[in-house]
Structure 1
Amino acid sequence: MNSLPSFDRFDVIVLGAGGAGLMCAATAGQRGRRVLLVDHSPEPGRKILISGGGRCNFTNIGAGPANYLSANPHFMKSALSRYTPADFVALVERHGIAWHEKTLGQLFCDGSARQIVAMLVAECDRGLVEWQLGAPLGEIDHADGHFRVGVAGRMVEAPALVIATGGPSIPKLGATGFAYDLARRFGLKVVEPRPALVPLTLPAEEALFRELSGVATPVTASCGKAVFREAALFTHRGLSGPAILQVSSHWRHGQEIGIDFLPGETPGWLRSAKRERPRGALPTLLKERLPDRLAERLSERLGLGGDLGNQPDRALEAAEQRLSDWRFRPNGSEGFAKAEVTVGGIATAGLSSQTMEARGVAGLYAIGEAVDVTGWLGGYNFQWAWASGWAAGQAL
């Protein structure tokens, strides 16, 4: 990587050396475009490096439009269909990176996330991309069909500018709302950003559950029409784990979420247990299905003491119903500091779904997390980064 550009005029300036920016720069560069890739961080791909526990959940084999949230649920169809998970896997394999599949179609490196960053850097170098890392941006102007950007004390210009600076999630890595401010300057609208794939907090009256910090169990979590069957984790502040992170992207303040603590349990199982084990107790039954501490807390809340044989069927039915749809009303989330991604962003109404170019500003593009497209947990957001970056790179 070159630390300073060797000239002032380029065909493309890409702002942001995350997943989308790296893919876009590499794609455009390999098509013969003179590309400058700029980032205030001293190293590229910082979010990639911490993803997947350091092994990078780099895509999901089932990624499709249904796995994304956006004000326009059709916007992502074009890019996702033209650059698929199989395309990225082929790139990974060309670079000799070993990988494996985990649950629900999630693909990870056998080794380190650094392999994915190194691969993308190598692809950029193959496209002769110029680099400017570790320097804050100066003024950004647009006139006479060219964008002029202040970088490291000098002005560079190009007829195309790509916004790939992501959203404000994980600010400790330098994430900000810069993309939205820049988009608004050019007349693009922004869908209100909020934290996504983020732990939810519980109010004081739910302290009984917060005392279960560290306890995890498979559940089905729901919020509105969104339903996810994965693990939930109790924390000292509230709820986390994959199932909760998934529904958090759909959750709004004031809404309840529902948790089925016994997904797949046959309706009527408690009444059947009453007949088969009349001297049994609810805590004992629940401990056969759930972690002990959780079983005890749920039993306390349900208030069914004594032998099952002494409980009326209607009380058992009510307990079953509550266990299958236990309602929590979070009082907030842990915010952008703990959010993996951002819901909202640059409104897709102002962008071409084919090229990611702004409809009203020729040469301006927006890709990746900066755009109002948010994937599920499990490699989907990286696939959007690759697909949107590739789509823009093909159009530049």
Structure 2
Amino acid sequence: MTTQNYDVIIIGAGAAGLMCALTAGYRGRSVLLIDHANKPGKKILMSGGGRCNFTNLNSTPANFLSDNPHYCISALKRYTPQHFLDLVERHGIEHEEKAAGQLFCKESSKEILNMLLTECEWAGAEVRLKTSVKTISGVDHGYQLQTNSGTLTCESLVIACGGLSIPTMGATGFGYDIAKQFGLAILPIRAGLVPFTLHPELKEQLAPLSGVSCPVDVHCNNEHFREPMLVTHRGLSGPSMLQISSFWHPGDSLSVNML
């Protein structure tokens, strides 16, 4: 099997990988986007309850948690929510504002995925699925990948395979392993932007309210969010709980003001 060479290889055909592929393609680079899954953008399809909350017009650097806040500032100045909204509107995707600044597709998340795949096609970026990476090694002027479909080389390698959030959707710790291999520091891993599960007694007590959403003010570690909370069959979800989960650690107290 002959070695295939590209300017850019991107691992991970989710939202970040697709966006990276089309951007590099439009810059005149030869691009290959690979993923071990059988379909691209699985997480896009499930986001926003199947309608994809594709951007927030009120997004600022203050909304991002990072040990390098300056990166968020420069990144958001170079590419704003309006830039992505312009792309969505060029493709004729109808959208609506559910809450202040929160934009969702009117129909289906599939429209956002199809838009990204179409842009990749127009940019000349190749998307190759069912491709597993066995090893990655540094070589002169780039990287070499051994995959189940042969040897690949590239000048620039982008790891866009996400974290461990939803293993059933194909998420793995592959990205962390590659970071360690190349000597990058890995911070302790914990869940963020996730719902809360409850102990059996409290879950049983709230069971009759499953499916009910109401505005709350939730507090934890000197942070608070005043947004809707949703009672589910497993616990507490909704925007307020997802937001505060990034500031909660096991053992911390958390208060929910429903009044």
Q: Give TM class, smaller chain.
A: over 0.9
2:19 corresponds to: 23
User: Once the 2 structures are TM-superposed, how far is the Cα of residue 211 of structure 1 from its aligned partner?
Assistant: 4.4
> Would the aligned equivalents of 1:56 and 1:108 in 2 still touch at CA under 8 Å?
yes
Structure 1 residue corresponding to 2:225, chosen from 228, 244, 251: 228
1:12 corresponds to: 8
Q: How far apart, in 1, do the equivalents of 2:200 and 2:109 lie?
A: 39
> Would the aligned equivalents of 1:210 and 1:237 in 2 still touch at CA under 8 Å?
no
> Would the aligned equivalents of 1:221 and 1:247 in 2 still touch at CA under 8 Å?
yes
User: Once the 2 structures are TM-superposed, how far is the Cα of residue 157 of structure 1 from its aligned partner?
Assistant: 0.2
> Would the aligned equivalents of 1:232 and 1:242 in 2 still touch at CA under 8 Å?
yes
Alpha-carbon displacement from aligned partner over 1:131-168 (angstroms, at most 9, x marks no partner): 22112112211122320112333101011100100011
> Would the aligned equivalents of 2:3 and 2:151 in 1 still touch at CA under 8 Å?
no
> Would the aligned equivalents of 1:212 and 1:235 in 2 still touch at CA under 8 Å?
no
2:107 corresponds to: 111
1:49 corresponds to: 45
Which one scores higher on RCO, CA 8 angstroms, separation ≥ 6?
A: 1
Number of paired residues? 257
1:180 corresponds to: 176
1:311 corresponds to: none
> Would the aligned equivalents of 1:14 and 1:36 in 2 still touch at CA under 8 Å?
yes
Q: How far apart, in 2, do the equivalents of 1:208 and 1:46 lie?
A: 32
Q: How far apart, in 2, do the equivalents of 1:255 and 1:211 lie?
A: 24
Inter-CA distance 100–204: structure 2 relative to 1 (3 Å threshold): closer
Structure 1 residue corresponding to 2:58, chosen from 56, 62, 77: 62
> Would the aligned equivalents of 1:209 and 1:234 in 2 still touch at CA under 8 Å?
no
Structure 2 residue corresponding to 1:218, chosen from 210, 215, 229: 215
Amino acid at match of 2:15: G
The yes-or-no answer on 1:244 pairing with 2:241 is: yes
Aligned-pair identity (%): 50
Length-normalised TM-score, structure 1: 0.62
Q: How far apart, in 2, do the equivalents of 1:242 and 1:113 lie?
A: 19
Q: Which runs of 5+ in 1 are unaligned?
A: 1-5, 263-396
User: Once the 2 structures are TM-superposed, how far is the Cα of residue 74 of structure 1 from its aligned partner?
Assistant: 2.8
User: Once the 2 structures are TM-superposed, how far is the Cα of residue 246 of structure 1 from its aligned partner?
Assistant: 1.3
2:89 corresponds to: 93
1:392 corresponds to: none
Amino acid at match of 1:258: S
Q: How far apart, in 1, do the equivalents of 2:232 and 2:92 lie?
A: 39
Q: How far apart, in 1, do the equivalents of 2:65 and 2:8 lie?
A: 29
Alpha-carbon displacement from aligned partner over 1:85-119 (angstroms, at most 9, x marks no partner): 11001111111111111112110112211111111
1:191 corresponds to: 187
> Would the aligned equivalents of 2:131 and 2:149 in 1 still touch at CA under 8 Å?
no
The yes-or-no answer on 1:148 pairing with 2:140 is: no
Structure exhibiting the larger radius of gyration computed from Cα positions: 1
User: Once the 2 structures are TM-superposed, how far is the Cα of residue 225 of structure 1 from its aligned partner?
Assistant: 2.1
Q: How far apart, in 2, do the equivalents of 1:131 and 1:110 lie?
A: 27
Inter-CA distance 25–170: structure 2 relative to 1 (3 Å threshold): same
The yes-or-no answer on 1:200 pairing with 2:193 is: no
Any residues of structure 2 matched to 1:217-296 within 5 Å, and which? 217-262=214-259
> Would the aligned equivalents of 2:3 and 2:153 in 1 still touch at CA under 8 Å?
no
Length-normalised TM-score, structure 2: 0.93
SS in 2 for 1:9: strand
> Would the aligned equivalents of 2:231 and 2:237 in 1 still touch at CA under 8 Å?
yes
Q: How far apart, in 1, do the equivalents of 2:69 and 2:27 lie?
A: 30
Q: How far apart, in 2, do the equivalents of 1:8 and 1:208 lie?
A: 57
Structure with greater strand share of residues: 2
Inter-CA distance 31–188: structure 2 relative to 1 (3 Å threshold): same
Alpha-carbon displacement from aligned partner over 1:226-272 (angstroms, at most 9, x marks no partner): 2111122334543222211211111001101111121xxxxxxxxxx
Q: How far apart, in 2, do the equivalents of 1:208 and 1:88 lie?
A: 43
